[in-house]
């Protein structure tokens, strides 16, 4: 088994009821070469004090004013010394061989980031049926992971993420402005940069479902709203070759797959999406194209009527 140093990054926010069990599970790994970094994101429930008393210098405990989940994870990533980095939620629990299992999985494959399906548990640690939170367990077609993420949303369990340090360097930091979809944005950016992501191996984390982390109407609205800047940014910064590989018959044909996407390419992608708010972004591109005389001349040569195309697409 590899002796590589692995850093476990655990952001916490008002999770005092769970944090001792969470951190203890990270420290009790069969893989012993560990750095456990806990970032307290401005908690007011004394969780950081509990950890300092219980674990002392066995962990790196950082505290900051409340800045949101991305800010806390970024602070942990900045303090990480490991060649590999594992994420863990402040109320979740690792199985004893989580780190060793995922470390061997990365060594045995060309993947850059791996995830597992989680065990679901309730507030008291009792088991929950997979059917109680089906997003992690629904059957999905075999296709490029980037394509599935873009069309179906996030189905990867963030507290199971295990990453090579080079993958973190390439992807960068989590976006601080995102509150609900910061993980989804990160996996999309990683996949669209050419990194290899996979859900593989046995379940290695117990993912806790309780009243404080259940979905609400407000959270649902935030998720819908955050999708728009995520998709807009991805189409601007994602590697064109990766997007073309994920959607091989969608974009205009080009000799070089690294050729930047055109506004019409982006409109085609957005208008083909199953979610209405994403298709509305495609209409924005069509409005701009309808005012571009160069594109209109090209469209006329190919017999493309933008008005009819827009009405058909939406």
**pLDDT for 89-116, tens place per residue?**
999 999 999 999 999 999 999 999 999 9
Q: Which pLDDT value is given to residue 108? A: 96
Tell the residue number behind the tokens 């806790």, with chain if given: 208
Convert the pLDDT of each residue in 116-149 to its tens digit.
999 999 999 999 999 999 999 999 888 899 999 9
SS3 content of the chain, % helix, strand, coil (to 5): 50, 15, 40
Residue 39 bridge partners (DSSP): 11, 62
pLDDT beyond 80 at 211? no
Convert the pLDDT of each residue in 5-40 to its tens digit.
999 999 999 999 999 999 999 999 999 999 999 999
CB of 290 closer than 8 Å to CB of 267: no
DSSP sequence for 48-90: HHHHHHHHGGGSEEEEES---HHHHHHHHHHH---SEEEE--T
Q: Which pLDDT value is given to residue 284? A: 86
Q: Which pLDDT value is given to residue 2? A: 78
How far CA 254 is from CA of 50, 204, 303, in Å, comes to 59, 43, 20
Q: Can you give the C-alpha Rg of the chain in angstroms?
A: 22
DSSP one-letter code for 195:
-
Which residues, including other chains, have CB under 8 Å from residue 111's CB and lie 6 or more apart?
105, 196, 197, 198, 200
pLDDT level of residue 218 (50, 70, 90 thresholds): low
Greatest mean pLDDT range, 162-166, 211-215, 221-225, 252-256: 162-166
Q: Which pLDDT value is given to residue 219? A: 73
Average pLDDT over residues 207-214: 81
* Region of poorest pLDDT, from 55-64, 227-236, 280-289: 280-289
Helix (H) or strand (E) holding 168: helix 165-171
pLDDT level of residue 286 (50, 70, 90 thresholds): confident
List, in order of start, the domains of the chain with CATH numbers: 6-214 (3.90.550.10), 226-313 (no CATH)
Average pLDDT over residues 259-288: 90
Q: Which pLDDT value is given to residue 138? A: 93
pLDDT beyond 80 at 292? no
pLDDT level of residue 155 (50, 70, 90 thresholds): very high
pLDDT beyond 70 at 309? no
pLDDT beyond 80 at 297? no
Percent of the residues in the chain that have a pLDDT greater than 90, as a whole number: 79
Distance CA 35, CA 68 (A): 23
Average pLDDT over residues 57-82: 97
């Amino acid at each position: 088994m590899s002796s590589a140093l692995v850093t476990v990054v655990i952001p916490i926010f008002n999770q005092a009821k769970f944090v001792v069990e969470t951190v203890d599970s990270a420290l009790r790994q069969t893989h012993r070469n560990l750095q456990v970094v806990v970032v307290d994101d401005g908690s007011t429930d004394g969780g950081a004090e509990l950890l300092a008393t219980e674990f002392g210098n066995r962990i790196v405990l950082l505290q900051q004013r409340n800045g949101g989940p991305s800010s806390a994870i970024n602070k942990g990533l900045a303090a990480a010394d490991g060649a590999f980095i594992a994420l863990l939620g402040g109320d979740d629990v690792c199985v004893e061989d989580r780190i060793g299992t995922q470390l061997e999985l990365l060594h045995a494959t060309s993947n850059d980031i791996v995830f597992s399906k989680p065990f679901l548990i309730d507030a008291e640690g009792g088991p929950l049926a997979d059917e109680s939170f089906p997003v992690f367990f629904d059957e999905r077609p075999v296709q490029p992971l980037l394509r599935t993420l873009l069309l179906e949303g996030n189905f990867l369990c963030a507290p199971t993420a295990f990453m090579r340090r080079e993958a973190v360097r390439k992807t960068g930091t989590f976006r601080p402005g995102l509150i609900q979809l910061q993980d989804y944005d990160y996996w999309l950016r990683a996949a669209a940069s050419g990194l290899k992501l996979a859900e593989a191996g046995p379940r290695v984390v117990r993912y806790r479902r309780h009243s404080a982390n259940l979905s609400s109407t407000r959270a649902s609205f935030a998720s819908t709203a955050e999708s728009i800047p995520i998709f807009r940014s991805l189409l601007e910064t994602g590697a064109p070759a990766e997007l073309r590989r994920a959607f091989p018959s969608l974009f205009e044909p080009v000799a070089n797959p690294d050729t930047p996407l055109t506004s019409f390419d982006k409109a085609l992608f957005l208008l083909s999406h199953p979610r209405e708010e994403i298709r509305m972004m495609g209409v924005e591109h069509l409005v701009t194209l309808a005012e571009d005389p160069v594109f209109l001349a090209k469209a006329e040569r190919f017999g493309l009527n933008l008005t009819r195309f827009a009405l058909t697409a939406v």
